[in-house]
Amino acid sequence: MTLEALLAALHLLAVLTLTVFLSSQAALCRIEWLNAAVVQRLNRLNLIYIVCLLAVLATGLARVFWGIKGAAWYAPQPLLHLKVTLFVLMAALHVAPTLALRRWQRTLHSTGALPNADAVRTVRRLIMFESHLLPVIAVLAVFWARGW
């Protein structure tokens, strides 16, 4: 029982940490605030966000395989499959912003140029779409916990 509580707490901590760093990226990724320091900070936040994605995945898998219910209980659960699908979609959506942020950093180091407004808007739109998927996953978790 203690292991189950610890795994649940770690998973929740990973999700909340992911939320903080995704929100930070969304807040900073604005053309009116963009300067060299922000481009560097966005790349740092992006790295932390990716680590958080991996932590959410690792703690979720730990709950499935080491939790009290076990993988046999989790495997047929349709809401779990929907949550995992949305999580994978979130991670896939973040590939383009990650590549763009790295490109912005390389360009900044080589030429000193900042990205144009369209590029910033595109990256921000993807990050905002991801950030709107996260509460949907949380709502699914609540319904699942209530026996749906």
pLDDT for the residue 8: 93
State whether residue 68 is helix, strand or coil.
coil
pTM (two decimals): 0.91
Helix (H) / strand (E) containing 46: helix 36-66
Q: CA-to-CA distance for 55 and 25, rounded, in angstroms?
A: 18
State whether the Cα torsion 93-134-121-43 is positive or negative. Answer: negative
| CA 6 and chain centroid, separation | 21
What pLDDT does 26 receive?
96
Average pLDDT on 56-70 reads: 92
Task: For residues 83-97, give the mean pLDDT.
Answer: 96
Angle made by CA atoms 55, 13, 105, in degrees to the nearest 5: 55
